A and B are shown apart, each in its own frame.
Chain A
C-alpha cells in the first residue's frame, strides 16, 4: 500500500471497543478467515439476524476501503480478530484521532493502516462525508500525508515508524525479521544479567 484513494464509511462513535468490532462469541474459530461477516455484529444485525437499517455498514450511501471512526478506536480486548474482521470486510485504512495501542499494533501487523489525524481534521472529514458521501480521502504512505480530494491545500501529515512503513509498503513479515536475528537472540540469552529459574 503506497497510495490509497477511496470513499469512506463514517462511524461517528467514540471509544469503539473490540468487543463491538467482533463480539466474543465469534472468536471461536481456529483460522483467520471469515471474520468480516461478523464485523460490528451487534450493531449491524438485530436478534433475528436482520440488518439494522440505520447502521452505517447497512447503508448503500457509504462504501469504501476507509473506515472513519471517533477517538479511542479499538480499546479493550487485545483480540487480533478485530483487525482480521476489519481487513476481511475490505477496509484497508482506519482513520481516527486516537487508537488504542494493542489494536494499532494488531492492525499494522495485518496490513491495515491505523491513520491518526488531528481532531480538527477528523471533524472536517466527518462533516464532508455527511454532506457528500462521495467524498474521497487520499492517503500517501510514502510522504505520510492524507488529504480530502479537492482540499490538497490542507494536507494532514501522520506518523508511522520507518519499520512499520516499510512492512506496509513491501508486505514485509515481522517474523522473517525476528528469525533473521537468531544469533543476536542467542547471544542475549547467554549474556543476560539475570536468568530466571522458569
Chain B
C-alpha cells in the first residue's frame, strides 16, 4: 500500500493495517490493541464459546472494570446485583480466556481510556479499538482509535481484525493563542458547537494547529475524546516530542533499543506537506471563551458570556424544555446543584491539579454537591501523594474512588431528576447522568468555579481577581 504521494497521518496508519482490500467491500483492518470492559464484552465472549474458539491474540487484549463500579467502598462487594453480576462475568470471562484484567482492587484499575495511555499501552501508529465510543481518546497519541459495537468486539476477539469502511479525512486547525483560563475542553466544545453533533459523521478528524500542538497530552486526550461527539469516527493528533516525553518510562512503553526504534518510526507518521483532506475547518484560538452547553447534545454549547439561543427546530425546543431553560436566558448566574469532575474526558491528574489549584483556600457554595472522581487508581494515588485530597476536603469537595461514575447512569452515582449538574463529562443527553438529570458540560476550571459560587460564572474574571 505504499505510494510516493503525500499522505495524511490517518492514511499512513490505516493503510499499514489493511490485511485485505477489495472493491465495494469493507477493509479488513488489523487491530494492535483491544481494550475490553464489562458492559460490551459478555455477549462477545458468549459468541466465542458458541463457536468453540479461542481469543485470537490475548497478548493484545486488555481488560478493566469501569462503567458499573461504585466510587465508594470499592473494597466491598458491589451492592447492586446486576452490576455485580456483570463485573463478575468479566472476571470469569477474562480468567477463562486468559485476558489480563485490571479489576477492582488492582493498582492499574480505572477508566479504560485513562489507563491505556497512563500505562503506555496506547502508542503512536497503532490501531486501537474498544466497545466504547470514547476510544477516540487514544487518537491523541497519533493512533487510529475508535469505538466499536459488540459484534465487532467479537470480530476482533476471534480474528484480531475488524471489517471497516475507510472514513473520509477531515482536518480541524486551531491556530493562535488561547485566552487565560481556556482549556482543551473549551476548544473541543467550541468546535462541536460550530460543526454540530453530526458535522463530523463519516470522517476521521486530524486536529492540528498551534493551539492543539501547544496542549499537553492530557489536553489532547480531552480533544480527541470528544471527537465522537461531532459524529466523527475518531480524532487523531500527530505524535511529537510532547507525546514521546509522556510515554517514556511508562509500564508498557518500549524500552532501550526498542524505544529508539519506536521513536524513529513514530517520527515518520505526521501528515506530509501537500497531503489533502476531504474537508478542512480553521478556527482562531483567541475566539474561544469558556464553553457551557445548554441543551441535550454536546453541539448545543455557547460561550459562558452568551445567552441561550433561539431554538431552530422542534428538537431544539424539546431540548430546552427538558433542560428547563428559556431562550435569551443568560448562562452566567445559572444556579447549579451538582458538580461532577471526572470521566474519560477530564479525570486525569492534570485536571485534578487544575481544580485543586483553583479551589485552594476557597469553599464550595452551600447546597452544592461536588464529586471529584479520579480516572484511575494511579491518578487517585498521585492526587493523594500531592496532597490534592486535603485541598478538596477543605473546600468541601468529595474525592471518590476511580470509575466512570456520574458520567452515565450505570453505577450508583446519579444526579437526581430535575437537578442541574455542571459536568466535565462528554454527554448532556437526556437522562445521561440519571433519569431527568440536567447536565451542563464545561471544563474542570469552569466546573470548579461554579462549585465555589453555586452558580455559573466566567472563570476568566475569577482568575483575574486571584
Give A196 to B154 CA distance when docked, in angstroms.
22
Q: Are B201 and A98 in contact (CB under 8 A)?
A: yes
Bitwise interface map of B from 262 to 292 toward A, beta carbon under 8 Å scored 1, else 0: 1001000000000000000000000000000
Residue A133 lies at the interface, judged by CB distance under 8 Å to chain B: no
Q: Smallest CB–CB gap between A189 and chain B, Å?
A: 8
Which of B403-449 touch A at CB < 8 Å?
Answer: 408-410, 417, 427, 429-432, 435
Q: Smallest CB–CB gap between A140 and chain B, Å?
A: 19
Q: Given the complex, which residues of A lie within 8 Å of B185, measured CB to CB?
A: none
Which single member of A13, A101, A198 contacts B233 (CB below 8 Å)?
A101
Known interface pairs A75-B231, A75-B297, A161-B165. Does A175 touch B198 (Cβ–Cβ under 8 Å)? no
Bitwise interface map of B from 48 to 88 toward A, beta carbon under 8 Å scored 1, else 0: 00010100100110000001100000000000001101100
Give A192 to B163 CA distance when docked, in angstroms.
19
Residue B19 lies at the interface, judged by CB distance under 8 Å to chain A: yes
Bitwise interface map of A from 142 to 172 toward B, beta carbon under 8 Å scored 1, else 0: 0000000000000000000111100000000
Interface stretch of the complex, out of B28-36, B212-220, B368-376: B28-36
Interface stretch of the complex, out of A1-9, A18-26, A55-63: A18-26
Q: Smallest CB–CB gap between B371 and chain A, Å?
A: 17
Residue B465 lies at the interface, judged by CB distance under 8 Å to chain A: no
Q: Given the complex, which residues of B lie within 8 Å of A92, measured CB to CB?
A: none
Interface stretch of the complex, out of B123-131, B345-353, B355-363: B123-131
Which of B14-51 touch A at CB < 8 Å?
Answer: 16, 19-20, 24-26, 28, 30, 32-33, 39-40, 42-43, 46-47, 51
Bitwise interface map of A from 79 to 98 toward B, beta carbon under 8 Å scored 1, else 0: 11101000000000000001
Give A75 to B195 CA distance when docked, in angstroms.
14
Q: Are A188 and B158 in contact (CB under 8 A)?
A: no
Q: Given the complex, which residues of A lie within 8 Å of B56, measured CB to CB?
A: 185
Q: Are B26 and A75 in contact (CB under 8 A)?
A: no
With CB as the reference atom, state the residue of chain B lying closest to A20: B430
Interface stretch of the complex, out of B144-152, B176-184, B328-336, B381-389: B144-152
Q: Are B46 and A42 in contact (CB under 8 A)?
A: no
Q: Given the complex, which residues of B lie within 8 Å of A20, measured CB to CB?
A: 429-431
Residue A77 lies at the interface, judged by CB distance under 8 Å to chain B: yes
Residue A109 lies at the interface, judged by CB distance under 8 Å to chain B: yes
Q: Given the complex, which residues of A lie within 8 Å of B123, measured CB to CB?
A: 196, 198
Residue A184 lies at the interface, judged by CB distance under 8 Å to chain B: yes
Q: Given the complex, which residues of B lie within 8 Å of A194, measured CB to CB?
A: 16, 125, 265
Which single member of A17, A161, A174, A184 contacts B151 (CB below 8 Å)?
A174
Q: Are A185 and B19 in contact (CB under 8 A)?
A: yes
Residue B252 lies at the interface, judged by CB distance under 8 Å to chain A: yes
Q: Given the complex, which residues of B lie within 8 Å of A197, measured CB to CB?
A: 252-254, 258, 262
Q: Given the complex, which residues of B lie within 8 Å of A164, measured CB to CB?
A: 26
- Beyond the given A42-B431, A102-B149, please list 16 additional residue pairs across the A-B interface where CB-CB is below 8 A: A19-B408, A19-B432, A23-B431, A24-B408, A24-B409, A75-B231, A80-B131, A83-B149, A98-B198, A109-B149, A175-B158, A178-B155, A178-B162, A178-B163, A179-B159, A181-B161
The 9 A-B pairs with the shortest beta carbon distances in the complex, nearest first, are: A80-B149, A30-B42, A106-B149, A109-B151, A28-B82, A78-B147, A178-B159, A78-B133, A72-B198
Show the binding face of A for B, using Cβ within 8 Å. 12-15, 17, 19-20, 23-25, 27-32, 42, 47, 70-72, 75-81, 83, 98-102, 105-106, 109-110, 161-164, 174-175, 177-179, 181-182, 184-185, 188-189, 192-194, 196-198
Q: List 24 A-B contacts (CB under 8 A).
A: A13-B318, A19-B408, A19-B427, A20-B430, A24-B67, A25-B410, A28-B39, A28-B85, A28-B86, A75-B297, A80-B151, A83-B149, A106-B151, A162-B24, A174-B151, A174-B155, A178-B28, A181-B28, A185-B19, A188-B30, A189-B160, A197-B252, A197-B254, A198-B33
